[in-house]
């Protein structure tokens, strides 16, 4: 393998060729650096959450998506609100079962969306595709469950913040939770892949900062102070730019995938704080 110094000494022509090859490879593979779907079989919803249902709906481009609907627990009073949950870039809906189960115990229904390419769903993930997936989930709640927009709370986790931010611009909900939000996917890529010209190569951008300046619904921003995947400073920029900031919840000493960030009391309280009267 040629070291960096040796490569530079070979001259501009070879250097240019190397950048071109690297660039074309990065262009072809960049989505593999963004999306990490779990291809393990997903169990039936009821196997993990009592009363949960396996559901499906169809996107505008013809994909059938499998998801879970988790109603409020039968022994509690329903809060008449439903969370549409868009997860991060890894795993599938089964990984979010503990949070949905806890919300159910608080009388809150949840639709656990799995994107195309995730959780046994057909298709390949992309920013445009995930937007279609979220819209299909929204219309499932409207048409099949009779949920009014003002009785919905969108919950975006990490990459899912970009998904629900776009959805909130198109179909405003009653409230919005952004858990570990980033400003723009390019800025995240610059942190984790500094040798890739992300500004030129990334087709999927998820411009969260731009979106929150326009979103008018009450929004809660939640992030961990020790997050090394989406730095706290980046999430704080999103909070500062949010047009209708209900609150900011900062968890000291908590990282991106720590248990408290996945199903902690502060996270549940953030959702409950947006339930309309």
What does the mean pLDDT of the chain come to? 89
The pLDDT tens digits for 41-60 are 899 999 999 999 999 999 99
Cβ pair 87, 130 in contact under 8 A: no
Domains and CATH numbers, the chain: 34-273 (3.40.50.1820)
Cβ pair 165, 155 in contact under 8 A: no
66 CB-near residues (< 8 Å, 6+ apart): 42, 54, 55, 56, 114, 119, 120, 121
Nearest to 89 by CA among 197, 232, 214, 188: 188
Strands (E), 122-270: 152-157, 175-179, 219-224, 245-251
Q: What is the rounded CA–CA span in Å between residue 239 and residue 246?
A: 10
Q: What is the pTM of this model?
A: 0.89
The pLDDT tens digits for 186-236 are 999 888 888 888 777 888 999 999 999 999 999 999 999 999 999 999 999
14, pLDDT greater than 50: no
């Amino acid at each position: 393998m040629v070291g960096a110094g040796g490569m530079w000494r070979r001259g501009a022509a070879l250097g240019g060729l190397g950048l071109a090859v690297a660039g074309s490879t990065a262009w072809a593979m960049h989505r593999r650096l963004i999306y990490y779907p779990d291809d393990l079989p997903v169990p039936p919803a009821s196997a993990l959450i009592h009363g949960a249902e396996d559901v499906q709906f169809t996107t505008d481009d013809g994909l059938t998506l499998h998801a879970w609907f988790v109603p409020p627990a039968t022994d509690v009073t329903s809060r008449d609100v439903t969370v549409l949950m868009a997860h991060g870039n890894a795993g599938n809906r089964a990984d979010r079962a503990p949070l949905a189960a806890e919300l159910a115990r608080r009388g809150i229904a949840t639709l656990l969306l799995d994107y195309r390419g995730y959780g046994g769903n057909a298709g390949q993930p992309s920013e445009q595709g995930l937007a279609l997936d979220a819209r299909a989930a929204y219309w499932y709640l409207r048409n099949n469950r009779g949920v009014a927009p003002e009785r919905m709370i969108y919950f975006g986790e990490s990459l899912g913040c970009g998904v629900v931010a776009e959805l909130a611009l198109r179909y405003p909900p009653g409230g919005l939770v952004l858990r570990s939000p980033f400003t723009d996917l390019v800025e995240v890529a610059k942190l984790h892949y500094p040798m890739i010209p992300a500004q030129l190569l990334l087709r999927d951008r998820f411009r969260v900062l731009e979106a929150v300046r326009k979103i008018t619904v009450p929004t809660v921003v939640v992030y961990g102070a020790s997050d090394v995947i989406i730095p706290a400073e980046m999430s704080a920029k999103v909070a500062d730019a949010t047009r209708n900031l209900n609150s900011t919840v900062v968890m000291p000493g908590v990282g991106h995938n720590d248990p408290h960030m996945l199903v902690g009391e502060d996270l549940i309280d953030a959702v409950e704080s947006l339930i309309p009267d």
